[in-house]
Structure 1
Amino acid sequence: MEKSVRPAVLQAISSIRERYFEPITLADLASEVFVSRFHFSRMFADATGVTPGRFLAAVRLFEAKRLLLTTSLNVSDIVCSVGYSSVGTFTSRFSNAVGLTPTQYREPQVAELLVAISPNLQRLPPLRTLRAAGHNCASLQPGTGTLAMDLGLPEGSAPADTLVGLFADPVPQCGPVAFSGMAEMRSGELTIPGAPAGRWTAIAVAQHRPGSAGPRFSIGYSTVQVAPSGRSTARIELRAPAQTDAPIAITLASKQSPYTQRMLASQRPHLRSAA
């Protein structure tokens, strides 16, 4: 997959990952790869699915989450380490995106229920931990639809503990509106009950059993439409993580962010009229 991505995009992604703590601008990235800002933005979005600014923000928030969970640095030190100049601005943006304050993010359950995919950190919580937490622990409120996901795991890969979540944002920072998981899964169907009606980004993550020639982790994305009732269907083809994937670190213990609440409200007219 990465062989088909323009070298300019991969170079820009490398710069973002290496210099995310600096005040990088779109003009800076475009000039590094010798193309116009407009052409660079379009090229980058075609390759990654998001704008350069969204990708940079995802890298910064990922690193902030990593530091909150793995170090004892105070929040002001972390703010400086990830490229923000104001603690207040960082705290506001973090809380709005994640649904938890930076301090709340250090609660033990956040780390226990963390799903992380990046070049240097790949993690899926044990499915027994998810079951103990409750199937809808990350949901704002359960929906009435059922989504049957047809999952295609990479060819030659070993069986995998697999998790599929539905998100309001293609680069999620908070927990899914619905999710389901299965241990030792091969290609096949995984059902997500209690899915809210609407259009969502489905993200599948699989942690494969060691000892095969295939990837240790695989990931897949798909835009899905869930009907208000009955059974909806969709398919995701999983693959090894790529450099063009924006990093993901979400906890299934998180509350819904204001953004997800607005998405849910906009997709349920009866809720808007009752508000």
Structure 2
Amino acid sequence: MQSTTSTTAHCDAKAQEAVARAIEIMWERYREPLSLSDIARAALLSQFHFSRVFRAVTGTSPFRFLAAVRLHQAKRLLLESGMSVTDIAFEVGYSSLGTFTSRFTSSVGVPPARYRRLARHGMPLPATGWEHAAATRGGMRGLIRMPSAPPSMRIYVGAFDSPIVQGAPVSCDILDGPGPYRLAAVPDGEWHVRAAAVPANPRSRALRLRPLAVGTPAAVLVRGGRCVDVDVDLRPAELLDTPILLALPELDRGGEASPARLVREFAAVFAA
């Protein structure tokens, strides 16, 4: 007889495989007006069951994940092509330039045209929120852990109101490598701590829009202005992770991209 633990692990593996199939379709067909039925069909699940499984695996809904994929591709086109903002909006599946501009701005932090200029001339660091630290004692603190960390790296960690790294974090800390962090002035409520590691001084521009590693612990509840302990383990980003939409200096920059070189340069970081 199969144990309960192994049965659960098998079900989790099957759920992840189904969700991965759906996410592959999103990346392949993001230009199209995909329906929930289209995406669920790729996962070989009913619409109702698919929505529930997708949220359990990714932490967000299929349509919010698809929206993140479209905006990620818009960032890529702004960096790599000379297409106009209008053409890019239609290319990634939007029928309205105004809607695209509004959603891009709220998710990435700057309007599309300004994002393109900043990517070429220098993206600012996100605000850490330490200027408001005296206003409240609430927040998170803990350790950022990463096996075989490279000698020169930068780690961004922030608290967001959704599992997707988009918009300005309610609080942010920036580290020069694994170690203790603190997110200050976090209001009471449920927050998602997200971390991304990138090379601090990359020798090439191969690393673009994709972090070296990510950390995605479970949602955190802050109450009574208290500081909650949350350790974050960094791991390689995978297909099931939503794209990082918030603009970060090391990830959002122009130049030639080489995914193959990226793999060669950083594959050893998580080697056994």
In the other structure, the counterpart of 1:161 is 154
Q: Which amino acid aligns with 1:51?
A: S
Q: Which has the higher strand share?
A: 1
- Correspondences of 1:223-262 after superposition (within 5 Å): 223-227=219-223, 229=225, 231-251=227-247
Q: Provide Cα deviations, 1:141-198, integer angstroms capped at 9, x if missing partner.
A: 66523421222324x444543221111221132121211122132xx42123343443
Mind listing any 5+ residue stretches in structure 1 that lack a counterpart?
A: 114-128, 211-215, 254-275
Contact 1:149 1:192 in 2 (8 A): no
The 1-side partners of 2:64 and 2:141 are apart by: 30
In the other structure, the counterpart of 1:9 is 19
Report the CA distance shift for 1:183/1:97 in structure 2 as closer, same or farther (over 3 A).
Answer: closer
In the other structure, the counterpart of 1:221 is 216
* Residue 26 of structure 2 corresponds to residue 55 of structure 1: no
Contact 1:144 1:197 in 2 (8 A): no
In the other structure, the counterpart of 2:141 is 148
Q: Which amino acid aligns with 1:232?
A: V
Q: Which amino acid aligns with 2:233?
A: E
**What SS is found at the alignment partner of 1:246?**
coil
Q: Shift of residue 77 of structure 1?
A: 0.5
Q: Which amino acid aligns with 2:175?
A: M
In the other structure, the counterpart of 1:191 is 182
Question: RMSD in angstroms over aligned alpha carbons?
Answer: 3.3
- Correspondences of 1:28-107 after superposition (within 5 Å): 28-107=38-117
Contact 2:30 2:93 in 1 (8 A): yes
Q: Which amino acid aligns with 2:195?
A: A
**What SS is found at the alignment partner of 1:244?**
coil
* Residue 167 of structure 2 corresponds to residue 174 of structure 1: yes
Contact 2:159 2:191 in 1 (8 A): yes
What TM-score do the two structures reach when normalised by structure 1? 0.69
What TM-score do the two structures reach when normalised by structure 2? 0.70
The 2-side partners of 1:48 and 1:239 are apart by: 15
Q: Which amino acid aligns with 2:216?
A: Y
Report the CA distance shift for 1:184/1:102 in structure 2 as closer, same or farther (over 3 A).
Answer: closer
Q: Which amino acid aligns with 1:12?
A: A
Q: Which amino acid aligns with 1:193?
A: A
The 2-side partners of 1:27 and 1:191 are apart by: 42
Contact 2:127 2:172 in 1 (8 A): no
Q: Provide Cα deviations, 1:27-79, integer angstroms capped at 9, x if missing partner.
A: 11222343211112122222211111111111001111222344332111001
Q: Shift of residue 134 of structure 1?
A: 5.9
The 2-side partners of 1:45 and 1:69 are apart by: 30
The 2-side partners of 1:252 and 1:208 are apart by: 12
Identity over aligned residues, as a percent? 37
Report the CA distance shift for 1:208/1:43 in structure 2 as closer, same or farther (over 3 A).
Answer: same
